[in-house]
Amino acid sequence: MSIHPAALEALRSRLNSATIYTPDSENYKQSLIRWSDTGMRHAGVVVQPTQAPEISVALLWAQENDIEVAVKGGGHSISGTSSSDGGLVIDLSRMNGVTVDTTRKSITAQGGATWKEVDEAGAAHGLAAVGGTVNHTGVGGLTLGGGYGWLSGQYGLTIDNLLSATVVLADGRTVTASNSENEDLFWGLRGAGYNFGVVVDFTYQAYDQKNPVFSGILGYTPDKLEGVVGALNEALAHPDSRFGAMCILTLAPDGSGPMIILIGFFNGSREEGQSKFAGFTALDPVLNTLDMIPYSVVNTLQNPQATYGDRKSFKGIFFQPPLDPLFARTIFNDFMTKIQSEPDLAASAIILEFTDMRKICEVPLASTSLASRNTTQNGIVYLRWTDPAKDLEHRAWAREAQAKWKAELDAATPDQGDKSSVPQYINYAEPGDSIVSNIYGGNIGRLREVKIKYDPNNVFHKMHPISTNA
């Protein structure tokens, strides 16, 4: 379905400095590229604004012409939520400026910025903000869904450090949301923010980070899995807010076979870091790059594997520590059997995060719209392939793997009563994924009120939409 030429001409006549791409434009196809090929759609028109008033114009025009709206920040959505089939895409990539206020120790990033720009701008002033763990992720998607990062153990989630946001609403108004202005909108943005408007800038609390951190990659042969899981469980049993780790089950990049990768992080001195990771280095890793490195470099460690292109699937998984080593072994063996039998899946992985949740859980559930503040740890079944004909098959297998983790979580939390009562992390839940349907938890009632007030016609409905019906 194409947009009528007269409607497109009306849009062009209302916009000044924005760049507009239509299917006959020279760089149209390039404007559709997303981190995953599964996230690409053929938009009717792509608008790349440079200022908030142009976003207002585009939003009002879309509603006048009954055209779907999608908003693209970093473009990491694998399910097409930042794309549109025949509709309007508001692409914020030209609004990617970052400024630092050294007096307030705050960082303001425009909605099209990535964490690379935030990390580097902060580092130039000896500051850091709580951001993502892959630095080409957009600030918008990660922030609006909560935001875990390497500094979360010390400072909480990204939304816990959000000071204010500038938002273009569906009715064209541009407003500020903070603890003193439009407080209900600010509450909703912090955990369900995809539903209310286009955020053109975020202001974050930043923290002194003048010293390097102890971080790097450890690689293990498959027989060390139980030992690695045991060391991770021990680390969480004696939590340190400065410690974090990711355990990645995957194939070695050189094709030599299954491998366990650990990305370690400790925000302290070399001596303290070496002590903290002594249990891991005692397992005789075949790879060890742990060293003192700038904080801004930590968020590049996954970049060689998290490249653009190919087809991808994310399935959020959640586990209650301590993680059972026997269960981890079963999962590892099943996963390796699958990806070794399908060479096109060779770049796939299961990623398990180990974060000190105490700071995150200090924030009362009612303080933000995020419902998943608990001791449950997050993870992802990450599949990557090239053949579109395999989409349904691979996604079905990923759902089966996800179901095993949910069954394990249910068994580990029998006191929860209703097995669906552990709200899951929204950024790791694909839209329409019923196995993690409980996202908004007890906040859904208030979220409906905020939705009705700021987006009654459901213009923003691409990512886990909030129904206005009770």
pLDDT for 52-73, tens place per residue? 999 999 999 999 999 999 999 9
pLDDT of 90 strictly over 70: yes
Quickly count: other Cβ atoms within 10 Å of residue 5's Cβ: 9
The answer to whether residue 222 is domain-embedded is yes
Judgement on whether residues 185 and 131 belong to the same structural domain of the protein: yes
The answer to whether residue 463 is domain-embedded is no
Give the residue carrying structure tokens 């059997």: 337
pLDDT of 135 strictly over 50: yes
* pLDDT of the residue at 153: 98
* pLDDT of the residue at 434: 58
| Residue 88's CATH number | 3.30.43.10
**Residue after which a domain boundary falls, among 30, 63, 93:** 93
419 band by pLDDT with thresholds 50, 70 and 90: very low
| Residue 124's CATH number | 3.30.465.10
Q: What angle do CA 125, 296, 100 make, to 5 degrees?
A: 30
CA-based nearest residue to 159, from 316, 368, 357? 368
State the residue range of the domain holding 140: 98-209
Judgement on whether residues 273 and 383 belong to the same structural domain of the protein: yes
The answer to whether residue 149 is domain-embedded is yes
The answer to whether the CB of 467 falls within 8 A of the CB of 192 is no
**Residue after which a domain boundary falls, among 166, 182, 209:** 209
pLDDT for 378-400, tens place per residue? 999 999 999 999 999 999 999 99
Say how far apart CA 436 and CA 371 lie, in whole Å. Answer: 13
Question: What average pLDDT does range 182-200 have in this prediction?
Answer: 97
Q: Which token pair is 83?
A: 């794309």
Distance, CA of 252 to chain centre: 25
The answer to whether residue 80 is domain-embedded is yes
The answer to whether residue 469 is domain-embedded is no
Judgement on whether residues 191 and 225 belong to the same structural domain of the protein: no
Judgement on whether residues 74 and 187 belong to the same structural domain of the protein: no
Say how far apart CA 396 and CA 387 lie, in whole Å. Answer: 15
The answer to whether residue 128 is domain-embedded is yes
Judgement on whether residues 222 and 313 belong to the same structural domain of the protein: yes
The total of structural domains in the chain comes to 3
Judgement on whether residues 256 and 344 belong to the same structural domain of the protein: yes
pLDDT of 1 strictly over 80: no
Question: What average pLDDT does range 85-108 have in this prediction?
Answer: 98
pLDDT of 250 strictly over 60: yes
* pLDDT of the residue at 243: 98
| Residue 346's CATH number | 3.40.462.20
Judgement on whether residues 154 and 251 belong to the same structural domain of the protein: no
Cis amide bond preceding 456, omega within 30: no
pLDDT for 4-16, tens place per residue? 999 999 999 999 8
The answer to whether residue 155 is domain-embedded is yes
Judgement on whether residues 103 and 151 belong to the same structural domain of the protein: yes
The answer to whether the CB of 110 falls within 8 A of the CB of 55 is no
Judgement on whether residues 15 and 108 belong to the same structural domain of the protein: no
The answer to whether residue 460 is domain-embedded is no
**Residue after which a domain boundary falls, among 65, 93, 121:** 93
Q: Using CB atoms within 10 Å of the CB of residue 157, give its burial: 0 to 12 exposed, 13 to 18 middle, 19+ buried.
A: buried
418 band by pLDDT with thresholds 50, 70 and 90: very low
Judgement on whether residues 280 and 429 belong to the same structural domain of the protein: yes
Judgement on whether residues 196 and 318 belong to the same structural domain of the protein: no
The answer to whether the CB of 107 falls within 8 A of the CB of 122 is yes
Average of per-residue pLDDT values in the chain: 95
SS3 101: strand
415 band by pLDDT with thresholds 50, 70 and 90: low
Q: Which token pair is 469?
A: 């019906």
**Counting runs of H as helices and runs of E as strands, what totals does the chain give?**
15, 19
Judgement on whether residues 65 and 151 belong to the same structural domain of the protein: no
